[in-house]
C-alpha cells in the first residue's frame, strides 16, 4: 500500500470548503457540518439484521457559528463527500489541535467503493468541555492505494449516506 497525496487525494473528495487549506501532505482534512447528541442506546450484533442505531437529536450552533459541548460523546457529520475507488481504502486521524483540546474522534475504515458524507464519534474528554465552530477542521482522512483492486466493494447500509 502507498499513501495518496496532494491533488490525487483531492480528486477523491467533493464539497470541500477550501481545497488548498484542506489538502495536507498525507491526506485531506474533513470539516464539521453538524453535531448530534445521542438520545437512546444502540445495539450491535453479529448479524446486521439485529443492528439498531441510537436515536440522535441535532444541536444548534449559536448565531456566530459556535457550539459549546460538555464532556461526553457526540455524532459529527462532515461537509465533504468522499468517493473511494475500487483500488483505495482510507483511515482517519483526529487533528492534533483537537487532541490538545482534550477531545478525539473515533473512526472506522473507509472501504473501497464507499461514497458518502461520513460521520464519526466525537468524544470530549476535557472536563471543562470544548468549543467548536461550524466548518472547523477536525480530522485528516488518509487514502491508501491497494496493491490491486478490491474483489468486492462496499455495499452496506451507509452507502450514499447524508448526501
Let me know if residue 159 belongs to a domain.
no
Task: Give residue for cell 473507509.
Answer: 110
Number of separate domains in the chain: 1
Let me know if residue 124 belongs to a domain.
yes
Name 27's bridge partners.
24
Let me know if residue 163 belongs to a domain.
no
Let me know if residue 88 belongs to a domain.
yes
CATH code of residue 84: 2.70.40.10
pLDDT of residue 161: 84
Once rounded to an integer, what is the mean pLDDT over residues 30-55?
95
For residues 99 and 59, the answer to whether their CB atoms sit within 8 Å is no
SS3 74: strand
Let me know if residue 70 belongs to a domain.
yes
pLDDT of residue 6: 80
The dihedral through the CA atoms of 33, 39, 41, 42 has a sign that is negative
Name 94's bridge partners.
139
Q: Within a 10 A sphere around the Cβ of 112, how many other Cβ atoms?
A: 19
How many residues are recorded in the chain? 163
Phi, psi at residue 46, to the nearest 5°? -65, -45
Let me know if residue 123 belongs to a domain.
yes
Let me know if residue 112 belongs to a domain.
yes
Domain, as residue range, for 110: 2-41+53-145
Predicted confidence band at 14 (pLDDT cuts at 50, 70, 90)? very high
Amino acid at each position: 500500500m502507498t499513501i495518496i497525496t496532494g491533488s490525487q487525494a483531492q480528486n477523491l473528495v467533493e464539497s470541500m470548503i477550501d481545497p488548498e487549506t484542506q489538502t495536507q501532505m498525507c491526506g485531506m482534512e474533513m470539516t464539521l457540518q453538524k453535531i448530534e447528541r445521542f438520545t437512546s442506546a444502540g445495539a450491535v450484533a453479529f448479524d446486521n439484521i439485529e443492528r439498531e442505531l441510537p436515536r440522535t437529536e441535532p444541536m444548534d450552533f449559536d448565531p456566530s457559528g459556535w457550539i459549546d459541548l460538555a464532556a461526553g460523546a457526540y455524532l459529527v457529520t462532515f461537509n465533504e463527500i468522499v468517493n473511494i475507488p475500487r483500488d483505495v481504502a482510507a483511515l482517519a486521524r483526529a487533528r492534533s489541535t483537537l487532541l490538545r483540546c482534550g477531545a478525539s474522534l473515533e473512526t472506522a475504515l473507509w472501504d473501497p467503493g464507499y461514497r458518502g458524507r461520513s460521520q464519526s464519534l466525537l468524544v470530549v474528554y476535557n472536563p471543562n468541555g470544548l468549543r467548536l465552530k461550524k466548518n472547523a477542521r477536525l480530522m485528516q482522512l488518509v487514502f491508501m492505494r491497494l496493491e490491486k483492486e478490491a474483489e468486492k466493494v462496499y455495499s452496506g447500509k451507509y452507502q450514499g449516506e447524508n448526501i
